[in-house]
Amino acid sequence: MKYSVYLSYLFFIAIILNSFAQDNGNTIELKKILESISTQHNITFNYLEEDIISFKIIPPNSESTLTDKLNYLTNQTNLKFYLVTEHYISIVPNKEIKICGYLMDSETNEAIENASIHYTQTNSFTVSDEKGYFEITYSTSNPIEVNHLGYKRLTLQLNKEQVNDCITYYLEPNSSQLKEVIAQIYLTKGISKKIDGSFEIQPKKFSILPGLTEPDVFQTMQQIPGINSPEETVSNINVRGGSHDQNLFLWNDIRLFQTGHFYGLISVLNPNLPNKIKITKNGTSALFGESVSSTVSINTENNTSTNNNSFGLNLLNFDFNTDFKISPQSSLTVSGRRSYTDLLRTPTYTNYYQRIFQNTVVSSTSNENIPFSTDENFYFYDATAQYNHKLSNKNSFQINLITISNQLDLQQSKIENNTAVQKNSSLEQQSFGGSAWFKRNWNAKHTTKMTVYASNYQINSKNESINGNQVFQQENTVLDTGIRIENQHEVKDVFTLREGYQFNEIGIRNKDAVTIPSFSRNIKNVLQNHAVIAEGDYISKNQKWNATLGLRYTYISTFQKSIVEPRIRFNYQVSETLSSQVLAEKKHQISTQVIDLQQDFLGVENRRWVLVTNDDIPIITSNQVSWGFTFKKNNWLVSMDNFYKKVDGITSRSQGFQNQLEFERIVGEYTIIGSEILVQKQIQNFTTWLSYTLSRNNYTFENFEPQKFPNNFDIQHNLELGLVYNADPFKIAFGSRWFSGRPTTLPLTDIIVDNDIVYNAPNSARLPDYFQTNLSAGYTYTFDNLNKLQMGASVQNIFNTKNNLNQYYRINQNTNSIEKVNTYSLALTPNAYIRYFF
């Protein structure tokens, strides 16, 4: 009886409180409202728990009819009520009602990408795209929270009446927090330095750099301290002393084994795609392998919200890019570029031709004093396609395709014994690649992505000797396929964990055939490897400490060999103006490029890809550590990095020797130590900078004497100066580059001994210093919000400086003497472009 009184009392109090709550407009859970209506009207509701759980509303008047109550609930929620039978009602969400908006930085007025937009106390969320645009299905009256690292949290209280109001929201940077970006403008607008030590290039935001008419990916990255190409090409980029093949180049997860058109003078990637390029010199994420130098990851992101089309023309090629919506959830991006050099030869083409084909079969007489004429036909093209589909707010997938080609046909003719002799040679270089990924956003803090990819590279040449009947055919083919699974989840507000698995199979074939004397070889190797990845990011609550610790375990099944590679990134914000950083990594690679003969593949692309054999071509490994700091105040930027890198397992064949080591087959290492510094100042629309790199790079070959000597890529001093003026619609850039001469090897004597040249110690001499000054300018005319016209011009080497890029010696068979062969830089070369956006 006592307990009954207590229960009656509690029940009475509950009724009073419930009545009071309704009278005062308090909300209760929708599920309880539906249960009450079910009891009162003898009906059954059918629904998914996740569709109604987030709604809390004021209950309808209990005296209202069932129809009035359902209409009331429809107006208060994003739900539809279907009367299946007289006593059975189905409830489904109305997915047609969406809320949209744009997120912008309140200080820079730039779009904020990858911000998280989610309803509080639910799993309903989305992320903003590269234009800051987002849209989310109206599923609850709960507030919407907008979160992004480095910005103050924004809370939006929206309702169904605002679905057609695509409002721009401004997020305020949190000055007390450590931002993801250390330097928003690095050298020029569109290049930034990130908190993890990497550099990001966004061509769509790109301003201008000296000598470039367009944001060429591989030309632009050479402006960053520590990255250069002593041969002025994008097919021989050295990052902190490493050879070009020691860099990993990825386009939408597809590995690029070919990076240059015109055999290295321009990039194989259309610079007008909406690319986002991330360059990592050290502290590489554990998600990436197969390189002992840098990692360059290029991702093309299309936008399903608007159409974007452009057409352009310069003095080498024409190109187009179109990005259009197929449906509200899907879009397609298609781009293409082709040279017209086989139809029209501009001054730009003439200078490029003279630069790239000097001292090759295309232009060389091979020391034979026999006159002949040469007629060449050369062109290149590339094309990409990308399909994006958003299955839902949580699921999306993407398909990417790329094809690249360089074609050279060479016809040589001469008169011999009063008879016309004609020989035809050719060089064909092609790449095909494809990737597809599926991404699942489980919630605002948990994402899984699965990627499959394939990359095929092939170079073929046929060399018919003009001085005989020999025909030399060569082929180098690479097929790289794999699968990658990545999982990322935010464990706590301060800690994010990433795990992954990768399987990769790479096969490389080398074929050679000679008619006189008869000889042929066909070598194919295949390697498979598995990799397991674990990586964690930690950000302290006061945002001063930022650390990443990664571990990559690789098992090469062919060799039954395991490799464990730790990766470390550590950043400390000393004050609002000063931050310090430590990076370290251990990496390896199983593919490399070698040179058998300097005149292979017509002497133009004489490097061929090979796989390690774990014997005469060992697995290449690297260890690198760096420490640096960044200082920012009053529009000054001072950045400095000190680094040490050691790479083991290199072969002499991979280094391009043209001295006594040219035909050696020895294994060694190189060690480089150096410092990179950038001083930059912004004054209104002007940005000026001075960068300097000091380094020492030395080989060690234990089976050769001397064992230690300078690296072929040892550029000890590298100085760059630039000035950019950017005031829309006009922009101009002026800059100069100077670096000390590369190592070279001189003959010890002019006397030929045993039909060979006797040399001094390897790389004991230096070429003259290099100096070049470049100029660029551009203008944009805007017709309306969609249509605009861009025009510009550039001049490379405006003082027409004759720089000696390479020097080697050979025996002249006619005079039986030693002769010196020099390779010179690009002469004064103009270029111009025009581009129309619509």
Out of 2.40.100.10, 2.40.170.20, 3.40.190.10, 2.40.30.20, the CATH code matching 295-837 is 2.40.170.20
pLDDT above 50 for 463: yes
What pLDDT does residue 160 have? 56
d(Cα 6, Cα 12) in Å, to the nearest integer?
A: 10
| 83-105 confidence digits (pLDDT tens) | 888 888 988 877 667 788 888 87
Q: How high does pLDDT run on average in the chain?
A: 87
Q: What is the mean pLDDT of residues 62-67?
A: 86
Dihedral-angle region of residue 281 (phi above 0 means left; psi in -120 to 50 means alpha; beta otherwise): alpha
Least confident of 94-98, 373-377, 684-688, 818-822: 94-98
337 token code pair: 């570029």
What pLDDT does residue 4 have? 43
776 token code pair: 């660029």
What pLDDT does residue 476 have? 97
d(Cα 781, Cα 835) in Å, to the nearest integer?
A: 10
Least confident of 57-61, 162-166, 356-360: 162-166
254 token code pair: 């597809």
pLDDT above 70 for 19: no
Least confident of 80-84, 282-286, 342-346, 509-513: 80-84
| 587-615 confidence digits (pLDDT tens) | 999 999 999 988 889 888 899 999 999 88
d(Cα 570, Cα 446) in Å, to the nearest integer?
A: 24
Q: Which CATH class is domain 98-171?
A: mainly beta
Q: What is the mean pLDDT of residues 160-168?
A: 65
pLDDT above 60 for 366: no
Q: How many CB atoms are located within 10 Å of the residue 119 CB?
A: 22
What pLDDT does residue 6 have? 39
Q: How many CB atoms are located within 10 Å of the residue 159 CB?
A: 11
| pLDDT band with cut points at 50, 70 and 90 for residue 461 | very high
pLDDT above 70 for 822: yes
12 token code pair: 């009475």
| pLDDT band with cut points at 50, 70 and 90 for residue 370 | low
Record the pTM.
0.81
d(Cα 377, Cα 374) in Å, to the nearest integer?
A: 10
| pLDDT band with cut points at 50, 70 and 90 for residue 61 | confident
Which residues fall within 8 angstroms of residue 593, CB to CB, at 6 or more apart? 243, 244, 245, 607, 608, 609, 610, 654
Q: Which residue has the higher pLDDT, 161 or 180?
A: 180
d(Cα 309, Cα 430) in Å, to the nearest integer?
A: 27
| pLDDT band with cut points at 50, 70 and 90 for residue 15 | very low
pLDDT above 50 for 22: no
What pLDDT does residue 646 have? 98
Angle between helices 30-41 and 66-76 (to 10 degrees): 170
What pLDDT does residue 2 have? 41
| 284-340 confidence digits (pLDDT tens) | 999 999 999 999 999 986 554 445 788 999 999 999 999 888 887 888 999 999 999
| pLDDT band with cut points at 50, 70 and 90 for residue 116 | confident
pLDDT above 50 for 403: yes
pLDDT above 60 for 341: yes
| 641-657 confidence digits (pLDDT tens) | 999 999 999 999 999 99
For tokens 């199983």, the residue is 590
d(Cα 310, Cα 834) in Å, to the nearest integer?
A: 10
% pLDDT > 90, the chain:
57
Give which of 192, 127, 134 is closest to 168, Cα–Cα. Answer: 134
pLDDT above 60 for 5: no
| 416-452 confidence digits (pLDDT tens) | 778 878 889 999 999 999 999 999 989 878 999 999 9
| 259-283 confidence digits (pLDDT tens) | 999 888 899 998 887 778 999 999 9
Question: Burial of 480 by CB count in 10 Å (0-12 exposed, 13-18 middle, 19+ buried)?
Answer: buried
What pLDDT does residue 109 have? 61
Which amino acid is located at 458 in the chain? Q
Out of 1.10.3720.10, 3.40.50.720, 3.55.50.30, 3.90.79.10, the CATH code matching 21-93 is 3.55.50.30
- Report which DSSP code applies to 151: B
What pLDDT does residue 123 have? 66
pLDDT above 60 for 14: no
Q: Which residue has the higher pLDDT, 157 or 34?
A: 34
**Torsion, CA 740, CA 741, CA 743, CA 744, rounded to 10:** -170
d(Cα 37, Cα 45) in Å, to the nearest integer?
A: 9
Q: Which residue has the higher pLDDT, 13 or 114?
A: 114
From-to residues of CATH 2.40.170.20 in the chain: 295-837
| 128-154 confidence digits (pLDDT tens) | 876 788 888 776 667 888 988 667 888
Q: What is the mean pLDDT of residues 730-734?
A: 95
pLDDT above 80 for 176: no
530 token code pair: 């598995």
Least confident of 107-111, 760-764, 798-802: 107-111
CB 556 within 8 A of CB 565: no
Dihedral pair phi/psi, residue 432, rounded to 5°: -130, 140
* Residue 624, strand partner residues: 585, 645
What pLDDT does residue 643 have? 97
Q: Are strands 295-300 and 248-251 parallel, antiparallel or unpaired?
A: parallel
Q: How many CB atoms are located within 10 Å of the residue 68 CB?
A: 12
From-to residues of CATH 2.60.40.1120 in the chain: 98-171
User: Coil, strand or helix: which one is 663?
Assistant: coil
User: Coil, strand or helix: which one is 552?
Assistant: strand
